[in-house]
Every structure is written in structure tokens, then in C-alpha cells.
Structure 1
Amino acid sequence: MSKFLNERYRKLESYTPGEQPKDTVLTKLNTNESPYPPGPKVLEAINSREAANLRLYSDPECAGLKETLAKQYGMTKNNIYVSNGSDDILNFAFMAFAGGRTEVLFPEISYGFYQVFADLYNLKYTKVPLKEDFSIDPKDYVCQNKMIVIANPNAPTGKALSLYEIEEIVRTNPENVVLIDEAYVDFGAESAVELVHKYENLLVVQTFSKSRSMAGARLGFAIASEGLIADLEKIKFSTNPYNVNRLTCAAGIAAIEENDYYRENCRKIVETRSYTAEKLVELGFKVVPSKANFLFTKCEKMDGGELYQKLREKGILIRHFDSEKISQYNRITIGTREEMDLLLGAIEEVIG
């Protein structure tokens, strides 16, 4: 840290992303990426002709991508915002919709960026404890008169609220934005997108990083009332109008157009998730029921940090968190069946 850094940011604890190893020999089950490649239309869209056009700026309106998403979700393009990954949207939302007398409310155990953004903008916030089974109690978020941010399914637990519970939270906080982060919704949870037609304060955020196999492309989108989308656009055009590049836009359109391919991948991941959970239970693990593309699990025979380290020594990466309340747990991304069998075999050796 240099002496020139603004004092406001000197105590900021930045987000720690999952390890991205340079050694490709490792079996990577730590950052919830898809084990399957993008579909053929995406690969075709990112062609040499499109690459040659990288000398030109991308469309700051992302009109083609917005129209494609709007058609997919039964919206107009004025209900769609696209950005350089969903983290950018979360960043702008904390910037735009909280501050002053507007505090923020989010789960104590959830996506780590929520607290980082709240601290970054010096916001007042409350972290709400989860229930003993790691589920979110929707009653904690009803009639709060605060900006509310909920990942559904939640991370790193994988547990999800029902659409009815989400609607109660949105309905009872009409004067504040309710942001539902649906990064993992395609793996078994109910999306709140349909509620956008009823509530002007609902902001639904999704990503191409998980179910659409494009984590490296950095593409996220939000669906909301025209007013909220206009607010996000105002922030975007005040910072970086060209925040989605030409190749990513083309890939995003192609991915939506071959949605069946990704649905089938999600089906396979859900099937493998059930298989892996069953095998882990047989090995003596406690497994939290998941609606995401990962499992949150505790080994009853070994410390969570020790299990993480021993698996890493065997070339398998999972995600361990140091937070006291979840330090005995690890989050395991669902890969292919072959990858999960490799993991299970390594676990048997480690705990045997």
C-alpha cells in the first residue's frame, strides 16, 4: 500500500476470488465454473471476422444483446441492462441505490462481495445471521425499509428461497430496491424475473458465468423496471460506456439462441450433484441440500481446512472459507461425473 492511497480505502478488505491455478493438471472444483464448454453457436460467433472488428468500439447500447435477452425473458429492451459480469452490476447497484439514510441488509453468510461493496461506498449495513440449517429466514427481510440484497440460491450454502418468499420481501419494502442475485438460479431454484412486471423496486441480476459456460467472457445482465435500468445506465455512461466488448456481445447473443444446449448441461450438473451428495453422505459427510452447481459440506472425520489442503496436495482444488461459523465446511463445485469420481476417490484415500 502506498502513501498516496485515499485514507477512505486504507482499511478496506478486498474480495478474495477463488484460486486460479496456472497448473492445468489440477482438477478445479473451487470457483463454480461449468465443466462444459460453450455451445457451438458461441464458438462460431467468435470468428476471425468478428475478431478483425476489434479495432472498432463495441456498441455502448448493446442493442442486439438486449433485444435477444428481452425476447428470451418476455421483457422490452428497456427492462434489460448488460455489463462486464454481474459483479459490475452489484457494484453499480450498491453505488446507486444505497447511501445517506438508506442502509443495506444482506445475509451474514453469503457472497463476500456484498460487504466489500458496502465498505467501499462507506454504507451502513446489517448482516443477518442464517438459521441453524444455513437457510435464510425471509421474515428477517420483511418491512425493513432498507436496500436488501439476497443471493438466491445463496452462496456458499446452495439453499434457496421460494418465489412466494421473495415476493413477500419485495412487496413489503416498496420504498427500497430489493436485489435478487440469481447467479445460480438455473440449477434448480425459482427465478424472480416474472415479478419485475409487478414491482418497480425489484432488481434481478443474472450471469453468463455459471450455467452458460462463459465465466471468462465476463458478461452479466439485470432485469428490472425501466426506471431502475435507466439508473444503472446513468452510472454506466458516467464511468465506462464500452464495458462489454464486441466478442462478448456476439457470444452472449449466440448463447441465448442455443439455450437448449445449456439447459441440458444444467440437467447433467443437477444429476451429478445428486450423485455426489449421496456418495459424500455414504462417506460420513454432512451435506447441505443445494439448488446450485456446488455442494456445501462438512467432513465429520477431518477439519475443513485440513481436508482442503490434503485434497490440494492430490491435485484437487475445492473452496475453503476461514470464517469461524463455516470453517469446518468446504464448497465443492460440481464438475463432470469423471471429475467427481476422482474427487470421491481422493477423499476416501485422505480420510481412510
Structure 2
Amino acid sequence: MSRFFSEKYSSLVPYTPGEQPQDKKYIKLNTNESPFPPSQAVSDAVGAEAGRLQLYSDPECVALRKKAAEVFGINTDEIIMTNGSDEVLNFAFMAFADEKNPLRFADITYGFYPVFAELNHIPYTEISLKEDFSLDPNDYTEVNETVVIANPNAPTGLALGLETIEEIVKSNPDNIVIIDEAYIDFGGRSAVPLTKKYDNLLVTGTFSKSRSMAGARLGFGIGNAKLIADLNTVKYSTNPYNVNRLTAVAGIAALEDNGYYMNNCKKIQENRAWTTAELEKLGFTVLPSMANFIFARSDKISGEELYLTLKEKGILIRHFTKERICDYNRITIGTSEQMKIFVDAVKEIVG
């Protein structure tokens, strides 16, 4: 670091995104992107809007919020649109957590949570998942802290039931509970309906996974209108034009074409079931995922060796070095063709 870097960030460990090597063409099963392209309507909308880039985007995202409200069954003042769900998570940490309201989240979960906490100087507690990597709801009830739960969780893919989520929200009436639903469209039950019942619930989501827009950076937060107003205060104090023109029209078109994307989610679930079964035939332990990825390990090969060997074969998966999960790899579910190539390669490696 330079000698000018502020001491307040000297110990900050930044988030490590999934690798994006450019040396050759890979089958990318490492960053949980959709293997399916955006719908034609999205491509057409972006092309038509490109000629207006000399104009600022709408900071209020009026048209986008209106369409999203229709799809999610909420009011327009109950949603905020952001530059990916990472931004709304950061806004929420800034708005609803501090020394009096510290954060609480799992030790094995989305890696940006501790980064945002450190960045904003918010104290936090990491709660160990159980031996089977499931989350114990009792660790999050009546805790008087700002609770953050990825549901389904990443990188495990395990999900809590909606009744369990409600119990956690209900037991913490004086603190915000943030439910990160980046992967909810692949088999989970959304907590969005609960936002009508509880004023302390914020549900975040993204267009990156189920709606094939990882490269467009579009996320959202849904909650009580007063919570959304709080988040807008932070937004307008940092980045008012956070959703660009192309992303906004792409988001509207994607929501109008929702059937196309939900059908793709069904294909992902089918490919996930097939891949899980094939790996289990090879002796792998595969956690029961409700996301667009699986978390798997083998007694025949270390997680790192499998990752490196597959990379040599032109297939990328995600390996984590954290001691408790270093034997596992997270494998994004792609098309049926991609998953067959992946399984065939694994068969060659493990025999």
C-alpha cells in the first residue's frame, strides 16, 4: 500500500471475487453466473437505449421499481434498486448496524459480509455453522443484534424454511434482520411476503443469478417503506445515479420476460439434480443445495487438487482455502452439456 493510505483501512482484507482467467476459453463453473443468455427482449431494450447515454439515468428508477413492484407483489415505495445486491447490502450495513447494533452472521457464508463490516467499522460476531453446515436458528433468535442470513446460504447451498425465517424476524423486533436471497429462485421460498407483516425485515436480491444479468449489476432491497427511505438516504448521500440507463431498461425487460427466466431456473434445478446424482455415484459427498451451485467433496482427492486438475482441463470451479471447507469445492450448475463435460472430466480424474 502507499504511504498515503488511511490507517483506518490498513487492516482491511478485501473481498476476493471468482477468478476470470483470459489465457484460454474455459467452461466457467466458478462464479455462479447463469449459463443462459438474457432474453432477446433484454438485448433489444439495451440496444434501443444505447443512443441516450448522454443523459443521466433516473435516480429514482421509477419505471423499473414499478415493474418490480408488480412482479414481487409490493408497493413502489417498498423497494430500492441498486448496483448489484452488494450495494444494497453495504447500504443496509451502514444504515442499520453500528456499535450499539452489531452484526451477526455465519462463519461460512457470503464473503462480503465481514468485508462490509470492517469497511464501515461495525463490530460483528461470526457464528459457527453446525457440523453438517446447517445454520442453527437458535443462534439468531432474541440476540438484539443486526442479523444477516444468506438464504440459501453460500457456498453451502443449504436453505432455511420460511417458518424458521419468520421466527428469527419475530424474535428480534428491535433489530433489523437482513435475508440475502441471491439464490432464492432455484428452489427456496422467498421471505418477501413477510415484509408486509414485519417492519424489521429487509430482503435483498439480485438479477445476476436467475435473470442472467451478472454483467449489468442490478440488485434490490424490499422492506417496509420506512426502511427503504432510510436506505435511500444512504444512497443519495453516496451514489444517486447508481443504476445506469442500460441496466435499468434491461431490468424492466427481464421482469416483463419473467417466464423465460423462471423456466431457465427449472432447467438449472434439473441439471443440479443430475450432477448431484452423478457425483454421488463417484463417492462424492454433496450437500443438498437449493441454489444454482453444489458444494461437494471426495475422499479420493483433495479439494485443491480437483480444482487445479479441472482447471488444466479447461473447467473452472471455486475452491476455498478456509480450513473447515478446504476439502470442498463449489460447482456452479451450467447447461446439461457443460455438466456432462464436467462429470466426464471428474470421472477421468478420480477413476
Q: TM-score, normalised by structure 2?
A: 0.99
Q: Deviations over 1:231-250 (max 9, x none)?
A: 11001111111010001000
Cα distance in 1 for residues equivalent to 2:23 and 2:203: 36
1:24 Cα offset (Å): 5.2
CA distance in 2, matches of 1:299, 1:88: 36
State how 1:78-89 maps to structure 2 within 5 Å. 78-89=77-88
Q: Distance in 2 between matches of 1:39 and 1:24?
A: 27
Letter in 2 for 1:97: F
Counterpart Cα distance in 2 of 1:330 and 1:11: 28
Aligned to 1:10: 10
Distance in 1 separating the partners of 2:170 and 2:239: 33
Deviations 1:160-198 (A, max 9, x none): 000000000000101111000000000001100000000
How far apart, CA to CA, are the structure 1 residues paired with 2:299 and 2:339?
19
Aligned to 1:40: 40
Instruction: Report what 2:251 is aligned to.
Output: 252
The one-character-per-residue Cα deviations of 1:62-119 (angstroms, maximum 9, x if unpaired) are 0000000111111111001000000001111111111121111001100000011111
In the alignment, what sits opposite 1:66?
Answer: 65
Runs of 4+ residues deviating >2 angstroms: none
Matches within 5 A, 1:98-137: 98-137=97-136
In the alignment, which residue of structure 1 is the partner of 2:179? 180
Aligned amino acid, residue 292 of structure 1: A
SS in 1 for 2:155: coil
Aligned to 1:167: 166
Structure-2 separation of matches of 1:50 and 1:269: 30
Q: C-alpha distance in 1, partners of 2:178/2:303?
A: 31
Shift of 1:123: 1.3
Give how far 1:23 is off.
3.9
Q: Deviations over 1:146-169 (max 9, x none)?
A: 000000000000000000000000
Match of 1:151 in 2: 150
Q: Identity across aligned pairs (percent)?
A: 59
| Mapped partners of 2:305, 2:262: distance in 1 | 36
Partner of 1:228: 227
Compute the displacement of 1:328 (Å): 0.3
Corresponding residue SS for 1:66: helix
Q: Secondary structure at the match of 2:295?
A: strand
* Residue of structure 2 equivalent to 1:313: 312
Instruction: Count the aligned residue pairs.
Output: 351
Q: Superposition RMSD on alpha carbons, in Å?
A: 0.7
Amino acid corresponding to residue 161 of structure 1 in structure 2 = L
Match of 2:198 in 1: 199
CA distance in 2, matches of 1:23, 1:204: 38
Q: Which runs of 5+ in 1 are unaligned?
A: none
